[in-house]
């Protein structure tokens, strides 16, 4: 990803199973990769964190 968006860009990967809402607030841009299982259901790590998305200030 860092090569694709330019060598000077900073890319940090965050494991959602260890993430806190504050991890998302410190970035200006966020790319989220969220796999689905079977017929579009969230992976269990994302399912656990999903309700926390409402508590994140994305402004």
* Predicted confidence (pLDDT) per residue in 14-57, tens digit: 888 898 989 888 888 888 877 766 776 767 777 788 888 888 88
Total domains, the chain: 1
Q: Which residue has the tokens 């260890």?
A: 18
What are the residues facing 36 on neighbouring strands? 42
- Domain of 58? 1-59
Mean pLDDT value of segment 8-16? 79
Helix (H), strand (E) counts: the chain:
2, 2
| Alpha helix ranges (H) inside 1-59 | 21-25, 44-49
pLDDT of residue 6: 67
Question: pLDDT band at residue 1, thresholds of 50, 70 and 90?
Answer: low
Q: What is the pTM of this model?
A: 0.60
pLDDT of residue 35: 72
CA 4, CA 46: separation in Å to the nearest integer?
26
Specify the 3-state DSSP secondary structure of 14: coil
């Amino acid at each position: 990803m860092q090569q694709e968006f330019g060598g000077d860009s900073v890319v940090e990967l965050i494991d959602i199973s260890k993430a806190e809402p504050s991890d998302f607030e410190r970035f200006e841009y966020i790319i989220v990769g969220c796999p689905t299982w079977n017929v579009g259901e969230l992976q269990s790590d994302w399912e656990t964190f999903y309700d926390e998305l409402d508590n994140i200030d994305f402004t």
